[in-house]
Chain A
Amino acid sequence: MPPIFEEETDRKISIIVSKGTLDWVTAAFVIGNAAVSEGIELHVFFTFYGMDAVIKKKMDHLKVTPVANPSMGMPNLVGVLPGVTAMATAMMKKQMAEQGVPPTKEFIQMVADAGAHLHVCRMTFDMFGLTKDDLYEEVEDVLSASDFLELAEGGQIIFI
């Protein structure tokens, strides 16, 4: 058997998604998707604004803003004008689609279908006054930080 198929991996990766902007959430799921397709056990923990990625009403409307983002090469004063965030978001969505990246909801569903475990942060859940009905159905549970760390034990943690 070719070596790369030989041993089933016992690797485990846990990604903490702390930001709710399109670019950061997509980055998390590109890595997450790669992990599951390598047979690696994957946990994703959504906390603070990262929670937007699994709030049904928000997940397909994540945005990216040029403000305070020097990499986008747009002066902050221009970035604050009405419509600029929407324009930047539309442009990024188009560029990502060209790379074969699905829209957020479809992307998360795809990674969940591949066996990933999705968890949300208890404190954020309470702080934002959410109910389970607000959350995307693939979310498995609402966990405290210490419960999450227990799950992540022995694996690698990526904070995004």
Chain B
Amino acid sequence: MATELIAGREITVDEEGFFADPSQWSEDMAEELAKAIGIDELTEDHWKVIRFLRKDFEETGETATIRRVSTMTGISTKQLYQLFPKKPAKKMAYIAGLPKPTGCV
């Protein structure tokens, strides 16, 4: 598997660039990951989503889908599309250092 230099550390990534090992992620990487996909600034709401995704992944072993994030954090679908434009599910997962979500809804 390929590696990439993120925040000065060697990170193992899958063929699409997602973290292959979520335990290699740490909060200080998020800004750099966000910038890499065109999100220049992480607001408090971005962080609320990222922290929820990390916690949920730890508990369930799966990356939460948009609906789950919205239901559990109270951040509306509309807002999620504004925070992570165009491909919210994949962008959230990418910044949080998680595999892309496998759920359909």
Contacts and interface: CB of A to CB of B under 8 A. Distances in A.
Nearest to A107: B105
A2 B94 contact: yes
B46 interface: no
Interface residues of A, number: 22
Interface string A62-102: 00000000000000000000000000000000000001111
A38 interface: yes
Given A5-B87, A5-B94, A8-B86, A110 B77 contact: yes
B68 A4 contact: no
Nearest to B33: A2
A154 interface: no
Most buried by B among A30, A37, A102: A37
A115 B81 contact: yes
Contact of A113 (B77, B86, B104): B77
Contacts of B85: 39
A110 B67 CA distance: 8
B76 A5 contact: no
19 contacts: A1-B37, A2-B13, A3-B17, A5-B38, A5-B87, A5-B91, A8-B86, A30-B104, A33-B105, A37-B66, A37-B88, A100-B67, A100-B103, A107-B105, A110-B70, A113-B81, A114-B77, A114-B81, A115-B81
